[in-house]
Amino acid sequence: MRRLAFVLPLLLAALPAEAQVREFSCVGVERLTEDTATISFAHGASRVGPDAAGVLQPLADLAREAPERNFCVLGYVSSGEGGARTGARLAASRARAVGLELAKMGVERDRIRAEARTRGFAPTSAAADRRAGARIVLLPLP
C-alpha cells in the first residue's frame, strides 16, 4: 500500500497536461505596423519603467475585446550591451518583463509569446530597430 501511495503521484505527473496551449508564431511580425507599441529600456536594464502602463494599456484593452488575438513581445538590445550570449539573455529578459506586465493587465499568459531578437537571430529587416527595448505586436485576427 505504501508503495502504491509513492508510485501513484509519479504516474499522475507523467500524464499529459490538460491545459490548452495556443498555437501561434511570431515569425515575420517585425513587418506588422498596426496595433504595435515600443517600450524603451535604460542601457543594461530589464525592468519595465512606470511609463510602460500607458503604452501597454491600449493594446491590453484591444486584446480583451478580441480574445482570439495574441501578442508577440520582441526584446531587443542595443549594440553596446554585451556579447551575443549576454545580449540574448538581456533581450529575453526585456521581452519576458513586458509579457508579465501584459499579464498583470488581464491578458491570459498563454496569449503572450516573448522572444529575444538579436543580430544573430533576427531577420535583416529587423536590423533597423537596434534600440534597447521591446516591441509589442497584437497579432491580427487569424
Q: What is the pLDDT of residues 95-134, one digit of tens each?
A: 999 999 999 999 999 999 999 998 765 454 444 446 789 9
Q: What is the pLDDT of residue 46?
A: 95
Q: Strand order in 71-76's β-sheet?
A: 36-40, 133-138, 71-76, 112-116
Residue listed under C-alpha cell 543594461? 44
Sheet strands (E) in 24-132: 36-40, 71-76, 112-116
Count: domains in the chain: 1
Q: What is the pLDDT of residue 79?
A: 84
Q: Has this prediction a pTM greater than 0.85?
A: no
Mean pLDDT computed over 136-140: 97
CB 59 within 8 A of CB 138: yes
Q: What is the pLDDT of residue 11?
A: 47
Range of the domain at 59: 2-138
The string of pLDDT tens digits covering residues 19-46 is 557 789 999 999 999 999 999 999 999 9
CB 62 within 8 A of CB 128: no
The string of pLDDT tens digits covering residues 41-86 is 999 999 999 999 999 999 999 999 999 999 999 999 998 887 888 9
The answer on pLDDT for 18 being more than 70 is no
Q: Write the CATH number for 63.
A: 3.30.1330.60
pLDDT band at 89 (very low <50, low <70, confident <90, very high): very high
State the cell numbers at 58.
491600449
